[in-house]
Amino acid sequence: MIPRLELRNICKRYPGVVANDDVSLSILPGEIHAVLGENGAGKSTLMKIIYGAVQADSGEILCDGNPIHSHNPAVSRALGIEMVYQHFALFESVSVVENIALSVTTPFNLAALSRKVLELSQRYGMPIDPARLVHNLSVGERQRVEILRCLLQNPKLLILDEPTSVLTPQAVLRLFDTLRQLAAEGCSILYISHKLDEVQTLCDTATVFRNGRVTGTARPKQTTATELARMMVGSKLPEMHVSPPVPAEKPMLEIRGLSAAATDIYGVDLADISFDVFGGEIVGIAGVSGNGQAELVSLLSGERLHPQSNAIRIGGIASGHLDADGRRRAGIAFVPEERLGRGAVPAHSLIENGLLTGHRLGSVRHGMVDRKRAADFSRDIVEKFKVKTNGVRAKAQSLSGGNLQKFIVGREIALQPKLLLVSQPTWGVDVGAAAFIRQTLVDLSRAGAAVLIVSEELDELFEICDRLLVICNGRLSKSLIRTQTDREEVGLLMTGLDGSVVANGGDSLALHD
């Protein structure tokens, strides 16, 4: 059989980095092929080369046996190659069908297009209302729009870049059903992921990447996860040491009946949220993004104040009225979700970024910066947390995501917080750095601090948290003991389908995930 797509010896260099080094792979019609590798292994670059958004320095691309010359996205679309990006390229202010109309070449007729979209969405089990405005859609629904947009072109090869990173476990299963159905109809699927279990469930073959090179091909269904992981990471992953929690007697953080209206029109109102975090334990808040996490985090960090100071108590003291500085004085440290722009100033040096929150440790006196102390403070963090950098004068934006995150976490831990609030601790961080950061958080809690983690990565929460809370539509679930719950229960809570919402038929349920 002639492969649908064949890559021969693709190379791509950027200044200082080899993104793809002599990469070859081939996909048959109707095959689901995984491209497996860590963040930064060169997968995304390769996909852009296949799609024509980026040109390879050397190598050949063949589609149905014919070499592609002078490649670009228009050529791809003409050949039936479609791509669903990890970060969606949808326009927020217009409707679903208008978004789709922008990328099809058929005459402009929204009514006819809506009918076609509905028909396709029913055929592949991806319900969506074409008239809705995109900014009202959940992430899962947006992904459906992207996939439907591709399907309208009758693709022969569909590329999906980390498609499940934003989905609930249940939505992932539905997506897999759709993909299997497509493959059965002869469409080849190139599935980019760093999640071993998904690749093992879905894919027929896998090409594994490390540092821009292919380190192996495998039949994931017949290969063990350990083997795949070894190809992917190159060495054995450090093992986590999570000892049983020793919670303190009194809670460090008490939230009681916290309600707040969203400040952003696309935001979520928080309704009657109550929970405790004790010293010596890690509590995780799970949920699909956009369910009130941003609002809750800004209220806890003090970026936003709450009129009822009793709704938030830190170390037993009413703190709702305290601003971010007041909260930090009360013993909170905070690692925000956005590393660049919130956790660190991109164009400033590590020394200056260390000062942002480390200034209370003696490096600023009488309003003057003690340059030497400030440099020592940042140098300590760099050494202790093994931050790879050209020195403490390097700009924050010159560090890789993992290294900057290690620096920010290190800076906050250096403050010896009684309560550490961390949002998406390992988002976009490579496997090694992620494991290091998680172990650091566990160690901090076992030394007596209270740790609260807000994350969308269920794997991460199940790995290190002692208790889990699930946030859905601005409401918080009851507290779950990690060892007494499972992904399915948490997944149902994430979609609000745990029985607290009356079910009324599959379709309408699916619409609200």
Partner 1 sequence: MDLFIAIFTGTIVAATPLVLAALGELVVEKSGVLNLGIEGMMLTGAALAFGVALAGLPLPLAIVAGVAGGAASSMLFGVLALTFLTNQYAAGLALAIFGSGLSAMIGNGFGNTPIAALGTLHIPVLSDIPLVGPLIFRFDILVYFSLFMVVFIGWFLYRTKAGLVLRTIGESPQSAHAIGYPVVRIRYLAVLFGGAMAGLAGAYLSVVYTPLWVENMTAGRGWIALALVVFSTWRPYRVLLGAWLFGGMTILQLQGQVLGIALPSELLSALPYLATIVVLVIISRNRQMLALNFPASLAKPFRPAG
Which residues of the shown chain bind partner 1 in the complex (CB under 8 A)?
53, 73-74, 89-94, 98, 101-103, 108, 133, 135, 265-266
Contact present, 402 and 432 (Cβ < 8 Å): yes
Minimum distance between the CB of residue 66 and partner 1, rounded to whole angstroms? 23
Minimum distance between the CB of residue 263 and partner 1, rounded to whole angstroms? 10
SS in 3 state form for 297-323? Answer: HHHHHCCCCCCCHHHEEECCEECCCCC
Euclidean distance between CA atoms 261 and 36, whole angstroms: 42
> Considering beta carbons, is residue 102 or 511 the nearer one to partner 1?
102
Euclidean distance between CA atoms 115 and 93, whole angstroms: 21
Minimum distance between the CB of residue 94 and partner 1, rounded to whole angstroms? 6
Structure tokens at 299: 């209220």
Minimum distance between the CB of residue 91 and partner 1, rounded to whole angstroms? 5
**Helix ranges restricted to H, 52-168:** 73-79, 96-102, 110-123, 139-151
> Considering beta carbons, is residue 214 or 268 the nearer one to partner 1?
268
> Considering beta carbons, is residue 98 or 457 the nearer one to partner 1?
98
> Considering beta carbons, is residue 14 or 108 the nearer one to partner 1?
108
Euclidean distance between CA atoms 343 and 457, whole angstroms: 20
Q: Which residue has the tokens 């990690």?
A: 482
**Helix ranges restricted to H, 185-266:** 196-202, 225-233
Minimum distance between the CB of residue 76 and partner 1, rounded to whole angstroms? 11
Backbone φ and ψ for 133, nearest 5 degrees, come out as -80, 140
> Considering beta carbons, is residue 134 or 214 the nearer one to partner 1?
134
Euclidean distance between CA atoms 306 and 311, whole angstroms: 8
> Considering beta carbons, is residue 85 or 407 the nearer one to partner 1?
85
Q: How many Å from the N-terminal Cα to the C-terminal Cα in the chain?
A: 40
> Considering beta carbons, is residue 2 or 102 the nearer one to partner 1?
102
Minimum distance between the CB of residue 98 and partner 1, rounded to whole angstroms? 6
Backbone φ and ψ for 62, nearest 5 degrees, come out as -120, 135
- Nearest partner of 375 among 344, 401, 352, judged by Cα: 352
Structure tokens at 183: 């493959």
Minimum distance between the CB of residue 104 and partner 1, rounded to whole angstroms? 10
Q: How far is CA 216 from the centre of its chain?
A: 26
Query: Residue 154, exposed/middle/buried by CB under 10 A (0-12, 13-18, 19+)?
Result: exposed
Minimum distance between the CB of residue 171 and partner 1, rounded to whole angstroms? 24
> Considering beta carbons, is residue 2 or 78 the nearer one to partner 1?
78
> Considering beta carbons, is residue 184 or 265 the nearer one to partner 1?
265
> Considering beta carbons, is residue 11 or 94 the nearer one to partner 1?
94
Characterize the bridge pairing of strands 450-454 and 419-423.
Answer: parallel
Phi-psi region of 21 (alpha: psi -120 to 50; beta: other; left: phi over 0): beta
192 membership: H or E segment, kind and range = strand 188-193
Minimum distance between the CB of residue 397 and partner 1, rounded to whole angstroms? 19
Which residues have CB under 8 Å from 60's CB, separation 6+?
6, 7, 8, 9, 10, 67
Minimum distance between the CB of residue 89 and partner 1, rounded to whole angstroms? 4
